[in-house]
Amino acid sequence: MSRTVRLGVIAAAIMGAAPAVQAYEAGELIGRAGIAVVDPDSSSGNLNSNALGEIDGARVSVGSDTQLGLTLSYMLTDQLAVGVLGATPFKHDIKGDGSVLGGTGKLAETRHLPPTITLQYFPMPSASKLQPYAGIGVNYTNFFEEKTTQTLTNTYASLAAGVDRTDIELDDSFGVAAELGLDYMITENVGINAAVWWVDIDTEATINAYAGNTRADTSTIDVDIDPWVYMVGVSYRF
> Mean of the per-residue pLDDT values for the chain?
90
Name the nearest CA neighbour of 231 among 183, 186, 188, 174. 183
For 23-48, give one letter per residue: b (16+ CB within 10 A) or e: bbeeeeebebbbebbbebebebbbbb
Mean pLDDT, rounded, for 6-26: 52
CB 68 within 8 A of CB 36: yes
Asked if 59 and 107 touch (Cβ cutoff 8 Å), the reply is no
Residue 15 has pLDDT above 60, yes or no: no
Q: What percent of the chain has pLDDT over 90?
A: 77
Paired with 55 in beta bridges are 47
CB atoms within 10 A of CB 223: 23
CATH number of domain containing 127: 2.40.160.20
* Number of domains making up the chain: 1
CA gap 70, 117 in Å, rounded: 12
- What pLDDT score does 129 carry? 87
| pLDDT given at position 235 | 95
Amino acid at 98: G
Over the stretch 50-65, which tens digit does the pLDDT of each residue have? 988 999 999 999 999 9
* Range of the structural domain that residue 23 is part of: 3-237
Which burial class, exposed, middle or buried, applies to 80 when counting CB atoms under 10 A from its CB (0-12, 13-18, 19+)? middle
pTM of whole model > 0.95?
no
pLDDT given for residue 11 in this prediction: 46
Mean pLDDT value across residues 32-40:
97
Cα gap 60→100, rounded to integer Å: 10
What is the bridge-based pairing of β-strands 214-224 and 227-237?
unpaired
Considering only CA atoms, which of 11, 49, 43 is closest in space to residue 206? 49
| More confident site: 193 or 3 | 193
C-beta of residue 79 within 8 angstroms of C-beta of residue 126: yes
Q: Is it the case that residue 135 has pLDDT exceeding 70?
A: yes
Per-residue pLDDT at 20: 43
Question: pLDDT tens digit string along 136-181?
Answer: 999 999 999 999 999 999 988 887 778 999 999 999 999 999 999 9
Question: What is the structure's pLDDT at 36?
Answer: 97
Average pLDDT for residues 118-144, to the nearest whole number?
93
